[in-house]
Chain A
Amino acid sequence: AQKVTQAQTEISVVEKEDVTLDCVYETRDTTYYLFWYKQPPSGELVFLIRRNSFDEQNEISGRYSWNFQKSTSSFNFTITASQVVDSAVYFCALSEGSDMRFGAGTRLTVKP
């Protein structure tokens, strides 16, 4: 069975600090995809990134970067120079094809 663990329930940082959100997954499949979503206070989930199991290259998009390591089954998300607008709940998710499993989420609060 697939499983996603986000061990950090809540993180609080001060603006301009870097912050890393951890995601550890379990799967028996060799083909799978990993995702990150952002849920701001307004409630909708916003898709951030999708990464397949065969591509371990790290990805950078502006202040966001993702580190995928199959050896440790982790797909961590780093926000550089955090801003107040980054405050949200962030969800990591895993898909083996049939459905998507979400982690419990990490609530990030960025204080001015």
Chain B
Amino acid sequence: EADIYQTPRYLVIGTGKKITLECSQTMGHDKMYWYQQDPGMELHLIHYSYGVNSTEKGDLSSESTVSRIRTEHFPLTLESARPSHTSQYLCASSQIDTYNEQFFGPGTRLTVL
């Protein structure tokens, strides 16, 4: 059973607000990921991390930033939210070894008005 948590599950905010989406995992996984997904549509990788102090940009250009100060924690921050950021954000983690399956959190559904 995967133990990866995301908060909040739902968030509605106004344009221009700064927000941080939280993601934590208790499996000791080194690799963590953030995906952006419109409901039921394709997943787009926006950030990933190989471990503490490692952050990389994914395929989809994103105005968000991430940090990895602790192994279990991988928050995503939007400095100034816009309506175009409205989407679902999924966090995932996996073991550092190659080819391992990723375990996903429940997601955060963000709506920017």
Measured CB to CB, the residues of A under 8 A from B are: 32-33, 35, 37, 39, 42-47, 50, 52, 89, 91, 95, 97-100, 102-105, 107
Q: C-beta contact mask, B33-54 vs A, less than 8 Å → 1, else 0?
A: 0000001111101001000000
Known: A32-B99, A47-B102, A89-B40. 6 other contacts (CB 8 A): A35-B101, A43-B109, A95-B98, A97-B99, A102-B43, A105-B42
26 A-B residue pairs with CB within 8 Å: A32-B99, A33-B99, A37-B104, A42-B106, A43-B90, A43-B106, A43-B107, A44-B104, A45-B92, A45-B104, A46-B104, A47-B101, A47-B102, A47-B103, A50-B99, A50-B101, A52-B99, A91-B43, A97-B99, A98-B98, A99-B45, A99-B48, A100-B102, A102-B42, A105-B42, A107-B40
B24 at the interface (CB under 8 A from A): no
Q: Smallest distance from the beta carbon of A56 to chain B beta carbons, Å? A: 16
A44-B106, A91-B43, A105-B42 are known contacts. Are A97 and B101 too (CB-CB below 8 A)? no
Closest 5 A/B residue pairs (Cβ):
A97-B98, A45-B104, A33-B99, A43-B107, A104-B42
Q: What does DSSP make chain B's interface, helix, strand, loop or mixed?
A: loop
Q: What does DSSP make chain A's interface, helix, strand, loop or mixed?
A: strand
Mark out the residues of chain B between 72 and 113 whose CB falls within 8 Å of any chain A CB in the assembled complex: 88, 90, 92, 98-99, 101-107, 109
Cβ contacts under 8 Å, B41 to chain A: 104-105
Closest to A37 in B: B104
Q: Smallest distance from the beta carbon of A11 to chain B beta carbons, Å? A: 13
